[in-house]
Amino acid sequence: MRKVIITNIVSLDGFYEGPGGNVMALPMDHGFDSYNLERHRAADTLLLGRSTYEEFKGFWPGVADDPEAAAEQLGIPVEHLDTPTNREISRLENAIEKVVVSDGLATDQTDPWRDTTRIVRRADAHERIAELKRGSGGDIVVFGSRTLWNDLLAAGLVDELHLVVGAVVLGDGTPAFAAPPAAALRLLDAGTFDGSDNVLVRYANEAVRRRGHRSNDHVRRAPREGAAWTGGGSHGPSTCPLRMRRDDRIRGARAVARLGRRASRGLRRRSADGSTRRRDVRRLDRRLHARGRGARLRGRRHQLGGRRIRRHRDECEDRRPDAGRARAAHEPRHERRHRGPR
């Protein structure tokens, strides 16, 4: 499943652009450019709003071939623009597929990117973007396009939000967020660029992550109703309503209970002296902790844990049509002798 990743630069006080829509008020230095190149390399689709698309279309196509004209258009020194990083971004921008969300853009307005541009109407945007996410390929990256990505974030279609926080305070302009996000954002990582005062922070959309995690858990661990439970055990496959993840915990608890009962029998045989017993119990606790099975478990608690495990196993086995025969055929003799009434 593909990811929708928002990549933008914002000021230290949270503005997406300066007064009058001036994006050049933000410190777009070599660190910002290098991270944009990294995101271009990982993507095979650009998702843009109309305004950002038209700005990019008028600027990036000529950077690789005529950087002086592009620098003059932006009003910046040509040496700031004519770099290997920007030339590669220009070539990638020309080649990559571009999806533009707009009701007013026409096909004859997309030159020189006509062959790589697809226009999606606003009413169909959420459905079409969800289809793109379900497909295979690289990331779907959004640059600029504040109105678009705020709408996608509210709709739960954004997977990650990558913000380059510029070391500048604008005091006025367009806020990056139109409204607080509906879901929490979880910090993935943060870092800086060599020779730059900008900071990169990357967040994951918790709503998308939890939704995907539940779905994966269901596919990976939850057995189909009525299907053979491959968690197994000493009696072969059976049907059990518990998830395999819970069965893993039970098997681990069974191993702890066996170790605890074995050690407890050894303690009773070895000595009745209180100090020796306490020292041996502490040694047992350290062994249990080292195995990663739990700590601070002693004597009777192990025995009770073993009984609960056997009772759970018997309840699961009783759901099988041949439960009695399977138990008689496979159950150790000493367990049948000591079972007693339930």
For residue 263, the Cα-to-chain-centroid distance in whole angstroms is: 43
| Model pLDDT for residues 151-186, shown as the tens digit of each residue | 999 888 999 999 999 999 999 999 999 888 777 889
What is the total count of domains within the chain? 2
Is 328 part of a structural domain of the chain? yes
Strand pairing partners for 143?
A: 7
Q: Are residues 210 and 279 in the same domain?
A: no
Specify the pTM. Answer: 0.60
In 3D, which of 262, 252, 254 has the Cα closest to residue 293?
Answer: 252
Cα–Cα distance measured from residue 270 to residue 273, given in angstroms and rounded to the nearest whole number:
9
Is 136 part of a structural domain of the chain? yes
Cα–Cα distance measured from residue 238 to residue 243, given in angstroms and rounded to the nearest whole number:
13
Q: Are residues 167 and 275 in the same domain?
A: no
Cα–Cα distance measured from residue 116 to residue 110, given in angstroms and rounded to the nearest whole number:
9
> Between the CA of residue 295 and those of 251, 285, 301, what are the distances in Å?
16, 6, 12
> Between the CA of residue 157 and those of 15, 114, 125, 133, 317, what are the distances in Å?
23, 26, 11, 9, 44
Cα–Cα distance measured from residue 141 to residue 127, given in angstroms and rounded to the nearest whole number:
17
For residue 323, the Cα-to-chain-centroid distance in whole angstroms is: 42
| Model pLDDT for residues 13-45, shown as the tens digit of each residue | 999 999 988 888 998 889 999 999 999 999 999
Q: Are residues 200 and 322 in the same domain?
A: no
∠ Cα 302 303 306 (to 5°): 85
Question: The domain spanning residue 139 has which CATH number?
Answer: 3.40.430.10
Q: Which residue would you say has higher pLDDT here, 9 or 269?
A: 9
Cβ atoms 203, 189 nearer than 8 A: no
Is 63 part of a structural domain of the chain? yes
Structure tokens, 57: 């279309």
Cα–Cα distance measured from residue 55 to residue 73, given in angstroms and rounded to the nearest whole number:
11
Across the range 310-334, mean pLDDT stands at 58
Q: Which residue would you say has higher pLDDT here, 227 or 285?
A: 285
pLDDT at 206: 84
Lowest mean pLDDT segment, chosen from 147-156, 259-268, 272-281: 272-281
Is 229 part of a structural domain of the chain? no
Cβ atoms 50, 103 nearer than 8 A: no
Cα–Cα distance measured from residue 118 to residue 151, given in angstroms and rounded to the nearest whole number:
19
Percent of the chain residues topping a pLDDT of 70: 61
Is 231 part of a structural domain of the chain? no
Q: Are residues 80 and 149 in the same domain?
A: yes
Q: Are residues 81 and 160 in the same domain?
A: yes
Statement: residue 8 has pLDDT above 90? yes
Is 232 part of a structural domain of the chain? no
In 3D, which of 127, 157, 122 has the Cα closest to residue 142?
Answer: 157
End-to-end CA distance of the chain: 49
SS3 42: helix
SS3 64: coil
Cβ atoms 250, 315 nearer than 8 A: no
Is 317 part of a structural domain of the chain? yes
Is 332 part of a structural domain of the chain? yes
Helix H, strand E, coil C: the string for 175-227 is: ECCCCCCCCCEEEEEEEECCCCCCEEEEEEEHHHHHHHHHHHHHHHCCCCCCC
Q: Are residues 136 and 59 in the same domain?
A: yes
Cα–Cα distance measured from residue 100 to residue 16, given in angstroms and rounded to the nearest whole number:
20
Concatenating the DSSP letter of every residue in 147-166 gives HHHHHHHHTT---EEEEEE-
Q: Residue 238 has what DSSP assignment?
A: B
pLDDT at 125: 93
Across the range 249-257, mean pLDDT stands at 64
Q: Which residue would you say has higher pLDDT here, 81 or 203?
A: 203
Cα–Cα distance measured from residue 259 to residue 89, given in angstroms and rounded to the nearest whole number:
61
Strand pairing partners for 191?
A: 200
Instruction: Tell me the residue range of the domain where 205 lies.
Output: 4-214
pLDDT at 327: 52
Q: Are residues 117 and 47 in the same domain?
A: yes
Per-residue pLDDT band for 328 (boundaries 50, 70, 90) equals: low
In 3D, which of 206, 45, 43 has the Cα closest to residue 116?
Answer: 45
Cα–Cα distance measured from residue 279 to residue 284, given in angstroms and rounded to the nearest whole number:
9
Statement: residue 225 has pLDDT above 70? no
